[in-house]
Amino acid sequence: DAGVIQSPRHEVTEMGQEVTLRCKPISGHNSLFWYRQTMMRGLELLIYFNNNVPIDDSGMPEDRFSAKMPNASFSTLKIQPSEPRDSAVYFCASSRDAGTGELFFGEGSRLTVL
Amino acid sequence: KNEVEQSPQNLTAQEGEFITINCSYSVGISALHWLQQHPGGGIVSLFMLSSGKKKHGRLIATINIQEKHSSLHITASHPRDSAVYICAVSRNGAQKLVFGQGTRLTINP
């Protein structure tokens, strides 16, 4: 298996632009997580899905952030409009079981908002 | 106080030394994870454990549920072990991880 696949790996955009990050989880995994990592706050969970259904989005910073999982093999995290404080590395991870399953992370998407 | 505390925050050692990184948590958990992140790199899951001890190559992870404490050991450390090691726990009844602040390990040749 190719592992968790994220795109783009790097994105540089200007404030106010829409950003869409993509994730393909490992086949057979039923839980998908979006994390954000910054120097100041470390790793933070933004949202996670179980069987394509959003379970907990309490980590989503504000309405500018939205996430979807239209099917078991694809998820998007969208920021609209983007702001400089959104600059971070965004990781997607998947597992067979959200509570007790081993987590597999993607390589991350490094976002810079100018 | 954070629910997950790691120590030390930074650790520098010479190649070949035995390394121990500690993780203490204050909540009931269903599982504890040890993650590794190389500079500028992705995150790799090293261990997931809920009791006892696990070993993979030169890495050993232990957990004491009663004391709410886990340790990650590296035997015969090597410069390629230089990375940030992150402890994370799945709280009982919850599915999201709570992360420690990470331990930055540097192994000098």
Residues in chain A closer than 8 A to B31 (CB atoms): 99-100
Maximum separation of any 2 CA atoms in chain A, in Å: 39
Query: Which residue among B33, B88, B96 places its CB closest to the CB of A56?
Result: B96
CB B34 within 8 A of CB A84: no
Residues in chain A closer than 8 A to B33 (CB atoms): 102-103
Half-sphere exposure of A54 (CA within 13 A, CB side): 17
Distances (CA, A) of B78 to A51, A77, B107: 40, 37, 6
Q: Nearest-CA neighbor of A65 among A44, A51, A81?
A: A81
Residue B47 exposed, middle or buried by CB count within 10 Å (0-12, 13-18, 19+):
buried
Phi, psi of B8 (to 5 degrees): -75, 170
pLDDT-derived band at A4, boundaries 50, 70, 90: very high
Cβ contact, residue pair B31, A48, below 8 Å = no
Query: Which residue among B42, B90, B102 places its CB closest to the CB of A107?
Result: B42
Q: If you search the block for the tokens 């200007």, which residue do you land on? A: A14
| Beta-strand pair B103-108/B10-14 | parallel
Q: In this predicted model, what pLDDT tens digit does every residue of B64-85 receive, in sequence order?
A: 999 999 999 999 999 999 999 9
Cβ contact, residue pair B94, A106, below 8 Å = no
Q: Nearest-CA neighbor of B106 among B4, B17, B41?
A: B17
Cβ contact, residue pair A99, B94, below 8 Å = yes
Phi, psi of B47 (to 5 degrees): -145, 150
When the pLDDT of each residue in chain A is averaged and rounded to a whole number, the result is 92
CB A76 within 8 A of CB A21: yes
Query: Which residue among B30, B45, B94 places its CB closest to the CB of A103?
Result: B45
Q: Nearest-CA neighbor of B94 among A98, A46, A102?
A: A98
Q: In this predicted model, what pLDDT tens digit does every residue of A51-98 receive, in sequence order?
A: 999 988 888 988 999 999 999 999 999 999 999 999 999 999 999 876
Instruction: Tell me the two tokens of residue A23.
Output: 């994730």
The list of chain B residues with pLDDT below 50 reads none
Q: In this predicted model, what pLDDT tens digit does every residue of A18-36 receive, in sequence order?
A: 999 999 999 999 999 999 9
Which pLDDT score is estimated for B88? 93
Q: In this predicted model, what pLDDT tens digit does every residue of A81-92 receive, in sequence order?
A: 999 999 999 999
